[in-house]
Amino acid sequence: MREVAVVGAGMTRFGKWLDRGLKDLGREAVEGALAQAAVDKHQIEAAVVGNATAGLITGQEMVRAQVILREMGFGEIPMVNTENACASSSTAFHLAWLYVASGLYDVVLALGVEKLYHEDKKRSFRAIGTAVDVEKYQDLVKAAAARGRENGGGAAEAAGRAGESRSAFMDFYASRARSHMKRYGTTAVQYAKVAVKSHGNAALNPYAQYRERYSVEDVLNAPMVVEPLTRLMCSPIGDGAAALVLCSAEKARQLTTKPVWVAASALGSGKDPVPGEPGVTTRVARRAYETAGIGPQDLDVVELHDASAPAELFEYEDLGLCAPGESGRLIDDGATSLTGRIPVNPSGGLLSKGHPIGATGCAQLVEVFWQLRGECGDRQVKGGEARVGLTQNAGGMVRDEAAAITIHVLKR
């Protein structure tokens, strides 16, 4: 396999863009990536485009890549559409990497783009809720409603609102959050500290959907979504796009003096684990660490899948940043802050930068690419000296594991 470099990246600000479509969002991200890479569109030999919900939100199915890129003047080249829930565009990046690493192409575009926001929020929540085994999900909803009736009051009504007034995935995260609290003594305050950190980082990121700062008290006093998750502990609905240009080592040296190398690109799926076996994130991360020749102690910056605040703590443990049960201490100690020993989600993460699900994976990679090049301004980590970064992106859920996981390691 050949060495593969990233030489350019671009993205839109994430937000609720009712007046912008897939073509417009995609164009901004792609033009930004091409400009930074100093590459003309005619030099792109293939393109892979990740999107998850366009069919359900906009009605555009099947040929999304071709529709978006043809509008920009791309033609003839192979265009591939990837749909892998929230890991759609990190999967696109994985395939783009494989095309270049295999020697099939020298310059490939990876794009993630999503129109998730809709005036009818139920439509957005229902679209997100399809990233499961829908037959099994209905059983889960019925069981939750039954438990709610047993608890009396408004609990039954709240249980029935999963997928209607909130993403059903928040119920899954909340359940794991309560289990973590019970097993390890993790607190709601520690979950709130994750949100405070993320919002503080996003305030420094011009591409972030939300740039307000909050205190722990603000987070804890925000409206409750599902115990213990308040609204400020949950990622928002939004739209956006992110793109990267990947190329061979020979081509990279012609284009830039600051290439960022793809040290590992790992894609995996959940399974039915045996008791005591590590989860899918840990399994795929171990494979990526081995390929890159590093361990978690070597990471200078991480962008991970914090669709909820508790999820960030879970991933600290799953990625080996700390031992099981010690993630609360990591956030208490400030180890994952911008100035900490292992900054996590300097972009603001999904919580604050936003989570237009088909664009999220590429957006994580854009952030790490810019961090390793020292191009992140006020949110720059390690004084611009970061050398190794990792992204972790999860998509969907089947039974008790994520349906898809990507782990990428980038080096400069």
158 — pLDDT class (breaks 50, 70, 90): very low
What is the pLDDT averaged over residues 117-125? 86
What tokens appear for 156 in the block? 């039954």
149 — pLDDT class (breaks 50, 70, 90): very low
Amino acid occupying residue 86? C
| Whole-number Å distance between alpha carbons of 337 and 172 | 26
Contact 351, 198 (CB under 8 A): yes
Domains of the chain: 4-119+239-262 (3.40.47.10), 163-234+264-411 (3.40.47.10)
Name the average pLDDT for the chain.
93
Q: Is the pLDDT of residue 164 over 70?
A: no
Contact 30, 96 (CB under 8 A): no
Q: What is the DSSP letter of 375?
A: -
Omega before residue 310 within 30° of 0, cis: no
Task: Tell which residue, 12, 82, 15, has the closest CA to residue 46.
Answer: 82
User: Which are the catalytic amino acids?
Assistant: 86, 355
Q: Is the pLDDT of residue 150 over 50?
A: no
161 — pLDDT class (breaks 50, 70, 90): low
DSSP helix/strand/coil, 195: helix
Amino acid occupying residue 270? G
The distance between the two most distant Cα atoms of the chain, rounded to a whole number of Å, is 67
Q: Per residue in 321-347, pLDDT tens?
A: 999 999 999 999 999 999 999 999 999
Task: Tell which residue, 406, 125, 97, has the closest CA to residue 244.
Answer: 97
Contacting residues for 137 by C-beta, under 8 A, at least 6 apart: 129, 168
Q: Is the pLDDT of residue 144 over 80?
A: no
Give the count of beta carbons closer than 10 Å to the beta carbon of residue 101: 16
| Whole-number Å distance between alpha carbons of 397 and 137 | 10
Q: Is the pLDDT of residue 163 over 70?
A: no
Q: What is the pTM of this model?
A: 0.94
Residue 305: its H or E element:
none
Q: Per residue in 269-312, pLDDT tens?
A: 999 988 889 999 999 999 999 999 999 999 999 999 999 999 99
How confident is the model at residue 143, as a pLDDT? 54
What is the pLDDT averaged over residues 47-53? 97
